[in-house]
Structure 1
């Protein structure tokens, strides 16, 4: 037995199951110098659950000396793994499959023997030939390569046109995937198929109408998984409009991306899409169960995104040098051995450079809710370019909109944009919870404007009418003090109490008369931040990483188009 080993716990990435099993974009947690005699299956699983944020370790995998993945299901597997330890194999790479992830197809380590590599000195009396003999090298069959290419492209699209044909020898990772592919084949071809025989090792399909069609899928004895071994594709039946192969699982797989991108996707629209694409009649009750199944699965994927946030943040830093990405985790949860997300801040280097390159010292602040399963809040900071278009500067995901989270966000924004001397800076915002105190605390010299629309919404609850609103807006638009007082007097003619209530909001925060002139912007409303919130409305329905990626891509394309237009004008 080798004296000491290093245990590497891989987490925070994702499994790629086709064309071969591999775990990508991972993070590492290491136990160095561990006594291999103390290795325990339970201890390894507990480390993933208590320290790395896993809910349940559904599968535990390890890579052998050759790099191949093996399942470890108990201490018997650990003992088999111990037998492979050597000076060349003393770092154990562990991987875990969480409760919400798909199962990984891999052999059990106790039933497979890994080759051991030993250094051997070889002597010979024969002269070596000038060229090596390559005749024994295996040459891949062109038919196998073609099947491999088709399997790689087996993805669901709206018309299921990648499932129109089944082929003998087509392979699948497990029986569930095989059944799903046959279901998509039946739906896309409008053919009714029934299960003639099914168990844990095989499934046989025949046509409902007695056609010669036969499809037998069973375990592949040479490789892992399952494959089509018998296939007769002949059909002479009429198209079917009530297909028993349109199971809940198959339909959930078909609609998964659509529901994920739009959780408000209606059941009647789902039924209409099936009718338009495949002339398929599905009952409303069944379609409700399909959507419920999708949402239950997506809830797990929403939580998985939080487990991958740190890996995503590191990817942003690596691919965008100089970018500020900050993640805060609950200290109280860490003390209990758990990892609970609190806040995440993003500010790209390119956006910082654009701010320093000549934007006016004017920043709009706003917060908006997520629309999907996650109920976090998105805080945004926007500038304005020379054409008065919004210019995204930074954004953050927080658990609640409070004075503490706003202070945290504005402090990071101040550091990213180098706003050490905040004199001459103007901020525009609504009167959100805790935001006014946060601005006063972090940027005390900055001028803080309040959106007049927000003031109007509160003020007009007591003093209604179009004329009163006009007088209120004319007061806000006044550019010199005498005009401002004249408008207040006009309001006072209607109601003196209305003037007192309006002046409860300090005029230097919402009237142009008292605005600072350094930023050269006299806006009295925060419409451009509201435009940004509407601009990312679709992204706000998605899980956190997909939402952040959508925002990143939209901002990139937006800035690129702006640069192209500016270059064309110049």
Structure 2
């Protein structure tokens, strides 16, 4: 926990960071060296931001690493958060690490300063959300993800040209689904942090029990992907 001490000696709450040893050790031992950094607004009585760092486990499922409550999402708060991550995860200057984020300027600058050797990429889902504000409809969403998943410049250009051809249809009156609201964000700070703690620990336990029941050297989701790739190779 971090506090601000005023000139008159009064102490005020400033920031709170959480990273459990089990999550830290799990990431170091069994997760890809890819971390997604993001922040969201708190909608309850206590306003502020919730910063988070997540990854993917060996079965390609979401793996929470750390989270923090701060007053505002800025370069300074991101530097503070990343410094604690570096200490917990032993990231050094970022060699062999990939960070994924939105286009928040403070976060971009903090990453450059704290982990300059890390590969930094923009989140495709964030870009898609901004893209869909102008190009509405499932047709554009599918083309966007085709372009994002393209493995050659020619394929990428092909899908982008298809989007350009359909651009006149972008302003049709199509319904958009409202984004889901994370209920934790409406809680008071201590209640919210406790509910997150319980949720993460229970989820980690369930995933561990499920994993121990698998009699496999390769996790089910990865095995399914390999099976699809083998089927595709037969038709090449």
- C-alpha distance in structure 1 between counterparts of 2:69 and 2:110, whole Å: 17
Change (3 A) 1:462 1:412: same
Change (3 A) 1:346 1:435: same
CA contact (8 A) 1:401 1:433 kept: no
Shift of 1:558: 1.3
Shift of 1:466: 5.0
Q: Please provide the CA RMSD for this pair.
A: 2.5
- C-alpha distance in structure 1 between counterparts of 2:89 and 2:41, whole Å: 25
- C-alpha distance in structure 1 between counterparts of 2:2 and 2:52, whole Å: 17
- C-alpha distance in structure 2 between counterparts of 1:445 and 1:410, whole Å: 14
Q: Does 1:329 align with 2:3?
A: yes
* Structure 1 segment 66-77 matched on structure 2, within 5 A: none
Change (3 A) 1:460 1:552: closer
TM-score, normalised with respect to structure 2 = 0.76
Change (3 A) 1:472 1:554: closer
Q: 1:554 aligns with which of 182, 193, 199?
A: 199
Q: Does 1:432 align with 2:101?
A: no
Change (3 A) 1:353 1:551: same
Residue 33 of structure 2 is matched in structure 1 by 361
Shift of 1:345: 1.1
List per-residue Cα deviations over 1:440-462 (Å, max 9, x = no partner). 22222222222223223334444
Change (3 A) 1:460 1:393: closer
Residue 348 of structure 1 is matched in structure 2 by 20
Residue 398 of structure 1 is matched in structure 2 by 70
TM-score, normalised with respect to structure 1 = 0.33
Residue 453 of structure 1 is matched in structure 2 by 125
Q: 1:414 aligns with which of 86, 97, 114?
A: 86
- C-alpha distance in structure 2 between counterparts of 1:465 and 1:358, whole Å: 38
* Structure 1 segment 70-89 matched on structure 2, within 5 A: none
- Which structure shows the bigger proportion of residues in helix conformation? 2
Q: Does 1:568 align with 2:213?
A: yes
Change (3 A) 1:561 1:462: closer
List per-residue Cα deviations over 1:161-214 (Å, max 9, x = no partner). xxxxxxxxxxxxxxxxxxxxxxxxxxxxxxxxxxxxxxxxxxxxxxxxxxxxxx
Residue 107 of structure 1 is matched in structure 2 by none
Residue 543 of structure 1 is matched in structure 2 by 188
Q: Does 1:444 align with 2:89?
A: no
CA contact (8 A) 2:86 2:92 kept: yes
- Secondary structure of the equivalent of 1:340? strand
Shift of 1:421: 4.7
Which structure is larger by alpha-carbon Rg, 1 or 2? Answer: 1
List per-residue Cα deviations over 1:29-59 (Å, max 9, x = no partner). xxxxxxxxxxxxxxxxxxxxxxxxxxxxxxx
Shift of 1:553: 1.8
Paired residues, number: 205
CA contact (8 A) 1:428 1:448 kept: yes
- C-alpha distance in structure 1 between counterparts of 2:203 and 2:129, whole Å: 32
Residue 219 of structure 2 is matched in structure 1 by none
Shift of 1:480: 1.6
- Secondary structure of the equivalent of 2:121? strand
Q: Where do 5+ consecutive residues of structure 2 fail to align?
A: 168-178, 216-236
Residue 17 of structure 1 is matched in structure 2 by none
- Secondary structure of the equivalent of 1:377? strand
Change (3 A) 1:358 1:469: closer
- Secondary structure of the equivalent of 1:412? helix
- C-alpha distance in structure 1 between counterparts of 2:214 and 2:136, whole Å: 47
Change (3 A) 1:483 1:414: same
- C-alpha distance in structure 1 between counterparts of 2:47 and 2:204, whole Å: 29
CA contact (8 A) 2:37 2:51 kept: yes
Shift of 1:469: 4.1
- C-alpha distance in structure 1 between counterparts of 2:136 and 2:209, whole Å: 47
Shift of 1:465: 5.5
- Secondary structure of the equivalent of 1:424? coil
Q: Does 1:474 align with 2:146?
A: yes
Change (3 A) 1:469 1:555: closer
Shift of 1:490: 3.4
CA contact (8 A) 1:363 1:381 kept: yes
